A and B are shown apart, each in its own frame.
Chain A
């Protein structure tokens, strides 16, 4: 108790004193000076300062938390934690920098306002994660982390975890137990909660779920995100992935629109795609609304693009077979259901759904020959793919 006051008085007596979030304490020849947006006190003795600080405890614990607990050793961690609780992100640090993100400083709540919110809990979404930060009577922060879809779930109904690295296992499989190759895939399973993380471990846990999301977000805020557009990222590939370069022919970038629509849509990936076709050519597909950016095509996209490069190298052919209008629509339904990962949701007896299993089996029984050819038409005698 009171150790934050000792630290504060010490720091205030040193050099230029302290200054954070509208709270300034310094010492001159006529004693201590304490300043908040509400009032200014001058000529205080050390005892007088301590007494006065009792009325400004939120300011004092706020200073202590940001200066002594979080510190400045990792500007990106500090920035993220300030963003989480709605404090102005680029103020109050000594890291200077050319931050141009001061426009929201004007809107940032005062310390007492922020503390009022924090006592009730302040929530932020980060991909599919929900962070809730609360402050106790001593000004100490506690962070809860859970799946954003479980915002209303009773904490007792979720499995509690304390170690940041437990997130690794939680991020490995989706709700159906399938391996998640992309950490930012929009398929994070729920059912867990980290009920009480400290500031450091919160960031470690978030970074375990979404590696490098905080540093990339931080760089973006500072206007320093090193986006590598499709053309650059593909251009640097070697070995088995260098073939993707051959997919870019002429000036068209429609194929990359399709890639982005297939993989990077908010329904598939929680990152906000910032990469475009190249420096001069934006994709026509929206990058999404994710909290943190994607700075270049990921390895999943590149691996898939290698396959598409091969597939898209084929010439189209005309096949002739007949479908009823409903059969054509059914083929469309099946593609839609697979693309939206909806097949599991289609009930066994729901024969009104084109992608229903019995409907698909009926279509196969009717239209496939023994070799599995649709309409009995061979794909291509010379095609051994």
Chain B
């Protein structure tokens, strides 16, 4: 396989005295579609948030596209990165949030054009054309002049995806993009993500509880438990023949929600 585009090298992340990521090793190849599953609190969001530079790390190195994300090489040593370095690194990444995080004071179209204009320095015309193409892609060309609060949750999340795409990142991070949605709106959002997943060059990292969907679109599924990868593999293997006891237990709990309580408790105790 080619050089990984994302590589976690013994990454440690603590919140106070709680160690959330414990010397995590994890890598993703360019163009790979990876799904992260695992119990609540196992550190799934933390992995994405570290990549998006929303959360710093305590130890280890995160590599993105061959360069350290949180460090810069100065005098032959890795030192804490400057804001300038991280600004350059962030260009490679885009993120879709569980709660959409749209800008409520901007119309749908402006949600999509603001960053391309201000950050990428696109002309208004270019940004607008790009936005309109993306809105068409997510099926919201008629909603361009509305404000986010006028849209349904599913529509808002589709705007969220289009907004991230407008920056043309090489890596897309999805943190439970459908968890805040009413069940009947999940499908429309998954369809948009499924279309994106067909783009060969785009690297995707998806945290989700939609196991069926994960099975369909991912090249690899990683089961996270207590800040480490407990088991990983192609979806056909991991879902059908999990090897680790904890994976089995988790998958059973997801499929059969009645025993899910037991699972949550187990992870809280663990």
Q: Do A and B bind each other?
A: no
List residues of chain B with CB under 8 Å of any chain A CB. none
